[in-house]
Every structure is written in C-alpha cells, then in structure tokens.
Amino acid sequence: MKFSTVIALCAFALPALGANEANIRLLPSEESPVIVKEIYGQFAEHLGTCIYGGLWVGEDSPIPNTRGYRTDVLNALKELKIPVLRWPGGCFADEYHWMDGIGPRESRPRMVNNNWGGTVEDNSFGTHDFFDLCEILGCEPYLSGNVGSGSVEELAKWVEYITAEDGPMANLRKQNGREKPWHLKYLGVGNESWGCGGNFRPEYYADVYRRYQTYCRNYDGNKLYKIASGASDYDYNWTDVMMRNARNQMDGISLHYYTVLGWSGRKGSAIDFTPEDYYWTLGKCLEIKDVVKRHCDIMDKYDPKKRIGLLVDEWGTWWDEEPGTISGHLYQQNSMRDAMVAALSLNVFHRFTDRVKMTNIAQIANVLQSMVLTKGDKMVLTPTYYVFKMYLPHQDAKLIPLNVATPMIRARDGRQVPVVDATASVKDGKTALSLVNTDLNEPAEITIDLSGISAKNITGEILTSQKITDYNDFDHPQTISLQPFTKGWKVSKGKLIVTLPAKSIVTLSLS
C-alpha cells in the first residue's frame, strides 16, 4: 500500500518542509486552562473478566491479593495515579440493583448479565468493594445509576446509603460494616439511555433525567456532580435536546466515542492488520476532534460560560474478541496501534479541557482497550498502559497551546492523518512535551520553536516497537515497554530539534 503525503494547513508561515519534517510552535499563555486530571479517568464494568479475575479475585484466592483485590494489578494501577473510576457500567448499570451487592456475600442473589454473554453474576463485588478499591487507588468514585430498569427510589436510596451520616440507609450501611459515609461526587443518571439504557427518545429522557436527579440529594456536606446520559458519536440532536430541556439540572453530560469499524459485523483483529487498516484507525480516532468540537459548539450555545462539563466517559478501540475467548466478554489484545490511538486521543482531550472535564477509557482490565490483561495469576501491562504512564506529567498541568505544521498521510475513506502530533503543558516549572510520529516507516524531524521556554535540562521516555502489530502477552510481557529517550535532540537558537523514530511516542521533560 502506498500512501501519499501532503502538507497540513497550518496557522503560521512554513519554511519548505521535507517529507517527514514538521514544525511546532509553542504558544505559552497565562490564560491557558489547566488540563484537568480527570481526563485520565478509567472505567470498570461488570463485563467479562474486568471485575472478576481482573481487579477482584476474593480474599480466599491463591492469586496474591490485598483484601480480595489482585496485588499485581493494584500496584500497576497505583502507578497511573488514576483520578476517577467509573462503575458498575456501561450497559450493565441499567440492569444493576445495588441492594443485591451488599450484606453477607453468601446470601446475595445471583443475576444473568444479559448484555455481556449471559454470564451469571453472583454480586460478590458490590458497593463496599468498589468504594474500598477507590480508597486504595486514591481515586474519585463515579457511579452509573440504573434508570433503564430501576426506579427513582432505588437510585435515591443508593445515594443515601453511600453519603448520609444517619437515617435508615445509613444504618443499613453501618450494619454492613461501614460506619462513616463515603464521599461521592460523580453520579451518572443512566447510561446510553438512547440504547441499552432504555431506548429513550431524547425529549422523554430529558424529563426522566430531571425527575431522577431531583431525588438524588446532597447529604451531610456531600455535593453531587450530576451527569446526564449523553450522545453517542454523531448524535448532535441528543446533546441539543438535553441542553435545551435539562441544562439547569445537570453538571455534566456524557459522550461516547469508540474507534471502531462499525457496529454490525466484524471489527477487525486487534493484532493482525495491514498498514492501510492502521492509518484508517488513526483517522477514525482523530475524528473525535470534530465530534467533540460539534458537541461543544452546541453546549456553548446554551451554556456560554462553560458551567456544564462534557464527559467522554467511554472511548477507545473496539476490535474483534480474541479467538478462543468467551463471546460477549470483549477481551481484546492491545498493540502499538492502540498506544497511538491513546496518545492521539489524549492530545485532543487536552485541547478541549475548558469543556471536556473528564474522560474514561474503556476499560481498565481485560475489556476493550485496557491497561492490563490478566490470565490466572499472570498480568501484562499493555502499550496503552505505558501511554498513560508517560502522559502523567500532563495531569493538572497548565496547557501550552501549540501549532503543528506537518505532512499528512492520506488514509482510506478520505481520512487524513498527521505524521506528527503533539501536546504540551507546564507544571512546577517543568514543561512536558509529548510528540507522536505516526509514520510506519520514516523518522520525523521536528523543529520546535520554544518561544522562550527553558530547555537547559532535557530528559525523555519513548514508546515504540519493531512492528506496529507488536503487543505484550503472557509469554512475552516485555515486547513493548517504556524506554529512556536519551539522544535524538539538540537545542539551537531557541529551537529544539527532535528526531522521532517511526511509529513512536515520546514525552520530553524540559526545564
């Protein structure tokens, strides 16, 4: 497959560029927003082996665990400084009855997980276990409430059970071993209410949302941030109707966007793909920029002061399930291509951080574009995990806007993929600059106009692989891992020139 390159439209005058030469201009500004750390949120659903086997094995398991949570997974996740974790779904949330997941484990009712393979759920992981996990990881809990098959009373009581100091629900919680209420900020009122969450039309859901949220009270100093179930992809009408009819009752509205070939039929292999498939994937991933922009434009119309957050609370790649795994469990491998999708998506979210107040990649373990994969007592870190690790300096750092002038690669379906993409931020006197070279074959020489930013000390990390289809598995857990990036740059006359290997992601720290 041959791909032609073109020069990207850019916001500043270009010197003549070679095929893989790019220019970046950093535009530091006091007025820039902070990249909210919640952009690095995660999502854990009762789906396949995300919870059971991935996060939770129970206290009696031979797999080393801390109060039932896998110790290896906990240690890996702690490194990512996860700011927020969404649970219990996804589609599962609208069939979940929280009272089935409290009290003695042996007397909890079982249920069929209708959305995900018909697996029997024994409710052994419930509210107490989730909040305990969030405390261990040091992250904010984000609950998805059941609207589709639940009741107003059920959701209202869940909030009371979790956050009230006294009263019947608080007493029940105390009987179950938790004296003090938990802190709960993020509350989702339904999930994908246009689909698995009830097949609502937006006008009707807006009214249902208004009713449900009324009874979700702020107890004893706890303050809820109420999130309406939002659109999928290109459904701009959903956002418009919700903003028109329920904006005064919401703090946030969600958006789901998956990098996926389509919703019916095959989605393609996670590890067996062509260069053409690769570039198409990046083009589809980057389309999120236009999608987010259009949803933001609608929100701006109703909420010009940006009080209401747009929460991309499900995103990532969605491939065919790995052969030999249980149908409906969405277990997929994770290659260097997925790492590229993670980096490019995070770069987009940074740009919209004045409106995008949270994102949650789907999902944290063993499902879709996960951080870790587990099998028995084994665990591997995925290439996507390493992107989240190398992007840590951007959490809660001040965004440095930038312009990129780059050659473009033409992909299938008329999509355009930049050879070079970048994001930058500053915190505690250190500038973090993340650079991506999407080209499968050629290095990119990037000239960065530092605009006075100090670069006396530079350190770096790189994520790359021999082949774009490379991945980590249980026999080869280290095929892809973060490596120091110690050469490949020079500073001259206020410009930083970096040579980025083909298909690589680099984060530089400048001070």
Catalytic residues: 192, 314
Select 191 or 334, whichever has its Cβ closest to ligand AHR.
191
Task: For 460-493, give the DSSP string.
Answer: EEEEE-SSTT-B--SS-TTSS--EE--SSEEEET
Dihedral (C-alpha) 182, 183, 189, 190: value to the nearest 10 degrees? -50
We find the least distance from the C-beta atom of residue 374 to ligand AHR, in angstroms, to be 18
We find the least distance from the C-beta atom of residue 90 to ligand AHR, in angstroms, to be 3
We find the least distance from the C-beta atom of residue 302 to ligand AHR, in angstroms, to be 25
Closest residue to ligand AHR in the complex (CB): 90
Do residues 372 and 489 make contact, with C-beta atoms less than 8 angstroms apart? Answer: no
Contact call for residue 314 and ligand AHR (CB under 6 A): yes
50, 82, 91, 463: which one binds ligand AHR (CB under 6 A): 91
Select 90 or 309, whichever has its Cβ closest to ligand AHR.
90
Contact call for residue 45 and ligand AHR (CB under 6 A): yes
Size of the site for ligand AHR (CB under 6 A): 10
Select 111 or 508, whichever has its Cβ closest to ligand AHR.
111
Contact call for residue 198 and ligand AHR (CB under 6 A): no
Distances (CA, A) of 145 to 186, 331, 406, 462: 10, 25, 44, 40
We find the least distance from the C-beta atom of residue 383 to ligand AHR, in angstroms, to be 19
Rg (CA), the chain: 23
* Binding region for ligand AHR (CB under 6 A) out of 69-77, 203-211, 361-369, 460-468: 361-369
Backbone angles phi, psi at 458, to 5 degrees: -130, 130
Please, which residues bridge with residue 187 across strands? 143, 226
Q: Quote the tokens at residue 103.
A: 């009290």
127, 146, 191, 384: which one binds ligand AHR (CB under 6 A): 191
Do residues 280 and 262 make contact, with C-beta atoms less than 8 angstroms apart? Answer: no
Select 193 or 347, whichever has its Cβ closest to ligand AHR.
193
Contact call for residue 395 and ligand AHR (CB under 6 A): no
CA 29 distance to own-chain centroid: 27
Select 48 or 83, whichever has its Cβ closest to ligand AHR.
48
Contact call for residue 192 and ligand AHR (CB under 6 A): yes
Contact call for residue 121 and ligand AHR (CB under 6 A): no
Do residues 196 and 91 make contact, with C-beta atoms less than 8 angstroms apart? Answer: yes
Distance CA 220, CA 79 (A): 33
* Binding region for ligand AHR (CB under 6 A) out of 33-41, 72-80, 360-368, 390-398: 360-368
* Binding region for ligand AHR (CB under 6 A) out of 80-88, 362-370, 396-404, 447-455: 362-370
The H or E element containing residue 25 is: strand 21-26
Distance CA 189, CA 148 (A): 10
We find the least distance from the C-beta atom of residue 315 to ligand AHR, in angstroms, to be 10
Contact call for residue 470 and ligand AHR (CB under 6 A): no
Q: Which residues contact 407 (CB under 8 A, 6 or more apart)?
A: 5, 6, 7, 8, 17, 19, 20, 21, 22, 418, 419, 420
We find the least distance from the C-beta atom of residue 365 to ligand AHR, in angstroms, to be 12
Contact call for residue 90 and ligand AHR (CB under 6 A): yes
The H or E element containing residue 340 is: helix 336-351
> Residues interacting with ligand AHR, by CB under 6 A?
45, 89-91, 191-192, 314, 362-363, 368
